[in-house]
Structure 1
């Protein structure tokens, strides 16, 4: 990770630069795609203003902090960046988890046997079908009409999620899309 430290209206000593490098290098523990950090230290009369800009692959995070002590300012600004990185990392993980649930559901549907199960109350016929290739809802409608079944589960080519297309009693079709 590249760290660029710039001082405006003041000279930055080596211990401060080492302190900033040590603090910012810890950010890669939270999010490994940090590739550049810009730190701007500015002095105004008695206040020290810190601005940290963290460059990620597709995002840019900014934290500004001001206090009388430059070390307090850098600690608070790094704390704000850590909070933003945790939030961003949580979004990335939750998106991955959503796709994992979908893949598990698809695997379960494929592994279920298509046999007839008999319960104490009577016969229940269970029929499962799932289209292997992603398709548009119009294609799924044609396949549903050709199969003669009441519903079809397929992966929507537009969204990449599993959808269910079913026949309604009035002759129309209904589409169920998950909202995670």
Structure 2
């Protein structure tokens, strides 16, 4: 498994590298198919944030699954340990769900206080001139392509990107929402073929929005 360690606003010390590499067996024990793990160490210089000045972000690629976790603390070692605990919990949950699917079971997703995200493949972005703003926003994009357009003379920038997604059930969408650690998830409902959004409500409840046009409503 490839281990990539990078720093933002800080230098990576050899001691930190050694600690990270020595503890990666916790990841491979749960996800033996893990191909790559990326660790990003960030230090914030604001003295008011001393208790959380150091943040560690971890991203693991295991087959088609991408799992991410992050944590903050006063130093890099405790931040790394917290992020690693969250990451291994997320990996165990993913492994258990795979087992349930092989057994023909369907496990409902449960809320987790884990920050995870899907790793985006690098794409070529364009920044068109003001004269081409309208064309850029209206133009067709290919899968994974994106475009950024500044709105007039304002600091507002709109980023447009095309994602390709297979239709899925509401239960699958809830699971994906937990996987990326967001409070909502946009998907195409496989039962209605409508663009839909699942989102968190209070406690253990969820909501679903579906979108359609008046022409399709009978």
Query: Displacement, 1:98?
Result: 2.5
Kept after mapping to 1: 8 A contact 2:31/2:62: no
- Structure 1 residue runs of 5 or longer lacking an equivalent are 100-180
Query: Displacement, 1:82?
Result: 0.5
The separation in 2 between residues aligned to 1:52 and 1:38, in whole angstroms, is 6
Q: Hey, which bits of structure 1, 4+ residues long, moved more than 6 A?
A: none
| DSSP-derived class of the 2:20 partner | helix
Query: Displacement, 1:93?
Result: 1.0
Give the superposed CA RMSD.
Answer: 1.3
User: Pick from 58, 73, 85: which aligns with 1:79?
Assistant: 85
Q: Deviations over 1:53-95 (max 9, x none)?
A: 1111111111111111111100000001101111001011112
Q: Deviations over 1:85-111 (max 9, x none)?
A: 110010111122229xxxxxxxxxxxx
The separation in 2 between residues aligned to 1:68 and 1:93, in whole angstroms, is 38
| DSSP-derived class of the 1:32 partner | coil
Number of equivalenced pairs: 99
Kept after mapping to 1: 8 A contact 2:26/2:88: no
User: So what's the TM-score if we normalise by structure 1?
Assistant: 0.52
User: So what's the TM-score if we normalise by structure 2?
Assistant: 0.44
Quick check: 1:7 aligned with 2:4?
A: no
The separation in 1 between residues aligned to 2:23 and 2:95, in whole angstroms, is 19
Kept after mapping to 1: 8 A contact 2:41/2:57: yes
| DSSP-derived class of the 1:27 partner | helix
Residue 60 of structure 1 aligns with which residue? Answer: 66
Structure whose alpha-carbon radius of gyration is higher: 1
The separation in 1 between residues aligned to 2:96 and 2:12, in whole angstroms, is 35
